[in-house]
Amino acid sequence: MEVNGKGRNFANTELCSTSAKGCRPRNSNASTAKPPGVSLCKYWMSGRCSRGDSCWYLHSWSLGHGFTHLARLEGHKKAVKGIALPLGSDKLYSGSSDGTARLWDCITGKCDYSSNLGDEVWSMITEGHWVFIGMKDFIKALNIQTSNEINLEGPVGQVYAMAVANDKLFAGTQNGDIMAWRASFEANPFHLAASLQGHTRAVLCLSVGENMLFSGSADNTIRVWDTETLQCIKTLNGHADAVTSVIHCNGHLFSCSLDGTIKVWFASEGQQNWEVIHTHKEETGVLTLCGMNDAEMKPVLCCSCNDNTVRLYDLPSFTERGILFSKREVRVIERGPSGLFFTGDAAGSLSVWMWVQKPQEEAS
């Protein structure tokens, strides 16, 4: 899960405001009482809490250690569904349900450009000089070097997920198919190669690794495909609800579901003998997973839950090390270079985070 790439600088970006202007206690005798559980102060989120340290609720976007919140990039009016950082670029791309794609300057944190795409964005990835935007019934391919735009036709319904492997672009669609395009050097650099069929409901997530494509679906299953032959070699059953995210790392497959579980799979012999070796249970449905390294190069799993939080776990122990909070549920988590990572929530906010070294006394 090592992160490489050119560094970005969000140091000059305006941080979220903690100004206080108007929150009042629910009763005058309860200034020191704390309600059970952990939740954000809604007045602080809107910059109007006047109770300061005596407030019952959190005045912080996170709890834990080893990371810090750098900035909130505001501009999208609806859910952020995609985040992309092209290699070698100092720009950050984001796509939203509000029908726009935004281009952010990584030096200033300001939005340089907003494009009206005419319909909702459902997914976004980058590969080389291309940014791919998944929409309803097509994929918009943008070449950031030449500014060339191509619409890839073929999907039926929303394109919920995309992945690239072996010079192929894969797209998971609303009707349960996975479309595959091959890259070429012709005038049209992509041509439709196949439609992978097998899922009976929408394909919600894709991941690649070791010449395999992993697809998670609303039909509660995960399918394993050979990226060369484009044949399904295994169907994994283990979740009791829609599989919302899959990631492959170091021979292991991590999956999560609306059933509230995260499962770790491992194939002991070959590509077909996948078995669950660990199940982690959350209190709510899990929406998306992202694996990365912290500042000490230790592996961490980030998982977004339906309760507007992102839980951070050290691997392989699944020891909780922190919680990220947001106004609405986080729909996308993207790792970046130089210790940066990003979260986009259903309210349209895009948050910038950074892994930091633990204080020396804490590390010892």
Residue 243 Cα distances to 68, 204, 246, 262, angstroms? 30, 7, 8, 10
The pLDDT value recorded for residue 291 is 96
Domain 122-281 listed as CATH 2.130.10.10: yes
At 232, is the pLDDT very low, low, confident or very high (cuts 50, 70, 90)?
A: very high
Structure token digits, residue 132: 């791919």
What pTM was estimated for this model as a whole? Answer: 0.85
For residues 156 and 165, give the distance between their C-alpha atoms in angstroms, rounded to a whole number.
22
The 3-state DSSP class for residue 281 equals: strand
Query: pLDDT tens digit string along 25-60?
Result: 333 333 334 444 467 787 677 777 877 777 877 777
For residues 88 and 90, give the distance between their C-alpha atoms in angstroms, rounded to a whole number.
7
Q: For 280, phi and psi rounded to 5 degrees?
A: -110, 135
Q: Which of 10-24, 156-170, 346-360 has the highest mean pLDDT?
A: 156-170
Query: DSSP label at 54?
Result: G
The pLDDT value recorded for residue 58 is 77
- The count of C-alpha atoms lying within 13 angstroms of the C-alpha of 35, restricted to the half-sphere facing its C-beta, is 11
Query: pLDDT tens digit string along 270-322?
Result: 667 899 999 999 999 999 999 999 999 999 999 999 999 999 999 999 999 99
Give the whole-number percent of the chain exceeding pLDDT 90.
66
For residues 70 and 137, give the distance between their C-alpha atoms in angstroms, rounded to a whole number.
36
Residue of 73, 82, 85 whose CA lies nearest to 5: 85
Q: Which of 10-14, 180-184, 352-356 has the highest mean pLDDT?
A: 352-356
- DSSP for 171-199 reads EEETTS-EEEEEE-SSSS-EEEEEEE---
What average pLDDT does the segment 259-280 reach? Answer: 90
pLDDT greater than 60 at residue 143: yes
What average pLDDT does the segment 184-196 reach? Answer: 81
Residue 2 Cα distances to 189, 327, 337, angstroms? 30, 29, 9
For residues 218 and 174, give the distance between their C-alpha atoms in angstroms, rounded to a whole number.
9
- The count of C-alpha atoms lying within 13 angstroms of the C-alpha of 348, restricted to the half-sphere facing its C-beta, is 12
For residues 161 and 208, give the distance between their C-alpha atoms in angstroms, rounded to a whole number.
12
Distance of alpha carbon 175 from its chain centroid, rounded?
22
pLDDT greater than 60 at residue 98: yes
Sequence letter at residue 264: V
Sequence letter at residue 185: F
Structure token digits, residue 225: 């495909």
- DSSP for 105-146 reads ETTT--EEEEEE-SS---EEEEETTEEEEE-EEEEEEEETTT
pLDDT greater than 50 at residue 24: no
Which position has the token pair 């340089």?
A: 112
The pLDDT value recorded for residue 361 is 52
Mean pLDDT of the chain: 85
Q: Parse the chain into domains and list their residue ranges.
A: 122-281
Structure token digits, residue 220: 């509660």
pLDDT greater than 70 at residue 194: yes
Query: pLDDT tens digit string along 328-343?
Result: 999 999 998 889 999 9
For residues 25 and 89, give the distance between their C-alpha atoms in angstroms, rounded to a whole number.
47
Minimum mean pLDDT among 22-31, 42-51, 109-118, 174-183: which range?
22-31
pLDDT greater than 90 at residue 136: yes
The 3-state DSSP class for residue 232 equals: strand
What average pLDDT does the segment 195-206 reach? Answer: 97
Residue 360, H or E segment: helix 360-363
Query: DSSP label at 89?
Result: -
At 186, is the pLDDT very low, low, confident or very high (cuts 50, 70, 90)?
A: low
At 4, is the pLDDT very low, low, confident or very high (cuts 50, 70, 90)?
A: very low
